[in-house]
Structure 1
């Protein structure tokens, strides 16, 4: 579970606690009227703050849309990165767009989810990363598909690598992005056109 998912769970937990507490306090007769109202207003305040935080969290997520001309438009997430969900061998995989990466690179976890056996791959290649040198295993993915609303972009026999080291999220590097005729970044938007 990444930090974004953890924060969403925290916000939802606070909301749940506020609602349950409200109902319990609203039904309590033994607490003085003033204290009861003070507690209720405090819970309302906490609920509004949690709701605002959850809204900020949801509204700042990276999003994908398709223009009338068929261009894919990605909006940067609150961390400034572009994320894209693709179907790899029929399995949903979340990627971060990394123009500094040469190729499509799967994490160990994602590789296993798409039907590869990361424990038995030959890690013959190497890559220099911010965390040092890691082993890479070359693989060929049967299909990589971008499916959004009416848009379907499918590529078959896509070369990729599986990272032997720690990798939180799979990387969508230039090896895959070169399949698009145009790639442009305009502010907080990344535009892909075939």
Structure 2
């Protein structure tokens, strides 16, 4: 099985590669269009700021490549957000795969409201996809984010931080997780294995 992690200069790609190695597979880091098109599975990571990440995608032409992919694709964190219609971060136009707009958590006012960004472990619930096979309601996953996708028709998992939001999205062959499966211990390994089994 050929697994490609898209390398466009905006991802924590090494930790994802190591997580896949722990499952007994090898992943290739690539920004080559043909290599990405010919992969059995594609992972679209992302860490950083939305508008600059989208500029890198468009400059390289990878935005159009991603839209044309027909194999299973997994967007992680910022990768998932860039797959949405838009993001409030940098007033960014996204890829429009998921029909939802990414927004920022409300400010931590008045006293007692949540801190931004959300950093740490949180529970997932309302799991609705084979991506979550053998994952139980209420298990914990690891997140680092200030922006989120609201609940929408494409939500396949929810989390709650000052209100419910989409912890994962799915449309056709495209999947996205707001959380980092590569940093989510055993639960994350199960989710990555489920993706690789598709």
TM-score higher than 0.5? no
The structure with the greater share of residues assigned to strand is 1
Structure-2-length-normalised TM-score: 0.24
What TM-score does the superposition give when structure 1 sets the normalisation length? 0.25
Q: Which has the higher helix share?
A: 1
Larger Rg: 1
